[in-house]
């Protein structure tokens, strides 16, 4: 049964991305507005004050030139009226040297006397601009024409509420315009964002089909990040399928290999029971055959346990510096009786003294399996040569025989569990089909490599390369207490 997509809409990645973009954009615009608003308003107000101040200076200069304060034409203050028209928020007063108002843009204080600190400062010859909150006072002295004598003051007062409101309205309008523009841009981006995430739907459906056991074709993607994801996932799925198939084959092979000796024992036992008048020699022969099958079963179980432990890697590697020359010599002496039984010569070729950081026990198992195979699958009166050499980084061990050889098409498969080139001959020699799998696992645990070259009816050579110094790569199962990263036995 196919699995339905129960992902809530609010958990959709594209929608969450769009929501994040919208909210983020609005927050940025809001923060920018709050930061810039006061500065913009302050600059606009300052510009307005400077503009009015300059115009007041122009008015004072015009009054001075035309001698409106001291001359006859005392009623002609057209510049004051013009300024009042340009700046309707201002109240403009013209005072003579005694502080009497001779012109009022509002026409309510004419003829009155008005003095304050701002006016008195201007009377002394200095222009003054004072701001209290949102209220501004400007006083500009009027000088006697062609002299420096102060004859009056132009006094301007106005509030800034209108300027603040105008500036704020303008800023808010700009903010609204920017928000609308951002929303339009995001709206145009929605198809592009949805299109960018569309391949995820196909990938998700594909993975759910795989999860349900339907190995459908991988979705077509472009050469981008999605393509990399699909390629990686397809590689992982293929590996898992191969491992699953390998596991099934392994179980099948184990069942078959364990069943074969048991079947032989059953047949031998039934034959013995049915042979009521069998002689002692016949009994002995049957029991020897049964004992042989029990030994085969025991060897198979031991090899299975060894391979399982190696694959679990729970024991780790008990590393130490080991003389590979001495190790090879000890193994050859141990296997000499097996070779003598078939009149096979064992030859050790020490090209140089070699010491490598290895697990001596495991390396002994690997090298012993290779040498034992070279003896078992050799010809009568053949030879086995074990070479020990090294280069700058690796110990190089070779095991060569003059045996039957391995067909070229079988070489890539010989390290598989239970794989036999000649099953009849392998069972006759007592092999379980796990020896080379154990060798391969031990070599890879040491970060080494193993290669094979063979010719039919001429012989086979196995070449093992092991780093002289084990790489310091910490493992999850066993790491040394000193933190060096060397795998150690627990």
CATH number at residue 271: 1.10.287.130
Query: Burial, 300: exposed, middle or buried (Cβ in 10 Å; 0-12, 13-18, 19+)?
Result: buried
Are 258 and 300 in contact by the 8 Å Cβ rule? The answer is yes
Same domain, 276 and 132: no
In a domain, 362, yes or no: yes
Q: Which of 106, 137, 166 represents a domain boundary (last residue)?
A: 166
pLDDT at 4: 46
Same domain, 323 and 300: no
In a domain, 217, yes or no: no
Are 55 and 92 in contact by the 8 Å Cβ rule? The answer is no
In a domain, 488, yes or no: no
pLDDT at 327: 94
Number of domains comprising the chain: 3
Helix and strand element counts for the chain (H, E): 10, 12
Helix residue ranges per DSSP H, 275-359: 280-312, 324-341
pLDDT at 490: 30
Scored b (16 or more CB within 10 A) or e, 209-222 reads: ebeeeeeeebbebe
The CA-atom distances, in angstroms, between 336 and each of 120, 330, 348, 405 are: 127, 10, 12, 22
CA nearest to 159, candidates 173, 138, 178, 140: 138
> Which residues lie closer than 8 Å to 286 by C-beta, 6 or more apart?
268, 271, 272, 278
> What pTM did the predictor assign?
0.48
In a domain, 85, yes or no: yes
Which domain, by its residues, includes 416?
313-467
The residue assigned the tokens 């490599």 is: 449
pLDDT at 182: 74
pLDDT at 374: 92
Q: Which of 166, 190, 218 represents a domain boundary (last residue)?
A: 166
Q: Are strands 345-350 and 383-390 parallel, antiparallel or unpaired?
A: parallel
Same domain, 160 and 261: no
Taking every pair of Cα atoms in the chain, the longest distance, rounded to a whole number of angstroms, is: 167
Tell me the average confidence (pLDDT) per consecutive run of 10 residues in the chain, 490 residues long: 49 69 74 73 86 91 75 62 88 91 88 90 92 91 85 92 80 75 76 72 76 69 71 78 70 64 76 74 79 74 68 72 94 91 93 93 89 91 94 94 89 78 53 78 91 92 93 52 37
Same domain, 391 and 252: no
Which strands make up the sheet holding 150-159, listed edge to edge? 101-104, 90-96, 150-159, 135-143, 128-132
pLDDT at 394: 94
Q: How many CB atoms lie within 10 A of CB 109?
A: 16
Under the phi-then-psi rule, with left for phi > 0, alpha for psi from -120 to 50, and beta for the rest, what region is 213? left
Q: Which of 141, 166, 191 represents a domain boundary (last residue)?
A: 166
Same domain, 65 and 148: yes
Same domain, 438 and 299: no
In a domain, 182, yes or no: no
Overall size of the chain counted in residues: 490
Rounded CA-CA distance 88/379 in Å is: 121
pLDDT at 260: 66
pLDDT at 221: 64
Same domain, 271 and 332: no
The residue assigned the tokens 């502080």 is: 99
Question: Tokens representing 440?
Answer: 């391969």
In a domain, 487, yes or no: no
* Cα 479 to chain centroid, rounded: 25
Are 56 and 129 in contact by the 8 Å Cβ rule? The answer is no
Same domain, 100 and 39: yes
Same domain, 354 and 458: yes
Rounded to the nearest 10°, the torsion over CA 317, 318, 321, 323 is -80
Query: Burial, 446: exposed, middle or buried (Cβ in 10 Å; 0-12, 13-18, 19+)?
Result: buried
Same domain, 296 and 441: no
pLDDT at 486: 40
Which H or E run includes 92? strand 90-96
In a domain, 347, yes or no: yes
CATH number at residue 139: 3.30.450.20
Q: Report residue 348: phi and psi, to 5°.
A: -105, 125
Same domain, 40 and 149: yes
Same domain, 287 and 317: no
pLDDT at 71: 52
In a domain, 393, yes or no: yes
pLDDT at 163: 79
Question: Tokens representing 171?
Answer: 């800023």
CATH number at residue 361: 3.30.565.10
Are 472 and 486 in contact by the 8 Å Cβ rule? The answer is yes
Rounded CA-CA distance 37/176 in Å is: 13
């Amino acid at each position: 049964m196919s699995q339905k997509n129960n992902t809530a809409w609010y958990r959709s990645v594209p929608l969450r991305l769009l929501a994040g973009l919208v909210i983020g954009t609005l927050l940025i615009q809001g923060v920018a507005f709050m930061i810039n608003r006061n500065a913009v308003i302050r600059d606009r107000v300052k510009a307005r004050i400077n503009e009015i101040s300059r115009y007041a200076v122009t008015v004072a200069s015009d009054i001075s030139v035309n001698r409106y304060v001291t001359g006859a034409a005392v009623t002609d203050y057209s510049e004051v009226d013009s300024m009042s028209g340009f700046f309707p928020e201002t109240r403009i007063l013209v005072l003579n040297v005694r502080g009497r108002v001779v012109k009022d843009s509002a026409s309510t204080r004419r003829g009155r006397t008005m003095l304050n600190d701002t006016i008195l400062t201007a009377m002394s010859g200095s222009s003054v601009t004072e701001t209290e909150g949102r209220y501004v006072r400007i006083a500009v002295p009027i000088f006697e024409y062609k002299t420096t004598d102060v004859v009056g003051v132009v006094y301007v007062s106005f509030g800034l509420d209108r300027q603040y409101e105008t500036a704020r309205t303008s800023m808010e309008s700009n903010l609204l315009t920017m928000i609308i523009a951002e929303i339009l841009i995001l709206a145009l981006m929605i198809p592009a964002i949805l299109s960018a995430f569309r391949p995820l739907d196909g990938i998700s459906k594909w993975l759910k089909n795989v999860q349900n056991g339907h190995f459908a074709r991988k979705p077509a993607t472009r050469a981008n990040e999605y393509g990399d994801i699909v390629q990686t996932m397809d590689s992982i799925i293929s590996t898992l399928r191969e491992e699953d198939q390998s596991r099934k084959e392994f179980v099948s092979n184990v069942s078959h290999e364990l069943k074969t000796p048991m079947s032989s024992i059953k047949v031998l036992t039934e034959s013995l029971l049915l042979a009521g008048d069998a002689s002692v020699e016949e009994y002995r022969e049957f029991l020897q055959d049964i004992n042989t099958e029990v030994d085969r079963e025991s060897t198979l179980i031991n090899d299975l346990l060894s391979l399982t432990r190696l694959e679990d890697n729970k024991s780790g590697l008990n590393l130490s510096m080991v003389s590979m020359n001495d190790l090879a010599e000890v193994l050859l002496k141990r296997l000499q009786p097996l070779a003598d039984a078939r009149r096979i010569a064992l030859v050790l070729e020490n090209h140089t003294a070699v010491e490598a950081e290895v697990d001596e026990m495991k390396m002994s198992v690997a090298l012993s399996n290779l040498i034992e195979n070279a003896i078992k699958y050799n010809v009568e009166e053949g030879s086995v040569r074990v070479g020990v050499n090294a280069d700058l980084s690796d110990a190089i061990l070779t095991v060569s025989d003059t045996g039957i050889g391995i067909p070229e098409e079988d070489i890539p498969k010989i390290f598989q569990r239970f794989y036999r080139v000649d099953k009849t001959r392998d069972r006759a020699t007592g092999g379980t089909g796990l020896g080379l799998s154990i060798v391969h696992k031990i070599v890879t645990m040491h970060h080494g490599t193993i290669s094979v070259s063979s010719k039919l009816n001429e012989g086979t050579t196995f070449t093992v390369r092991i780093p002289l110094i084990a790489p310091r790569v910490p493992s999850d199962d066993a790491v040394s207490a000193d933190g060096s990263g060397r795998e150690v036995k627990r």
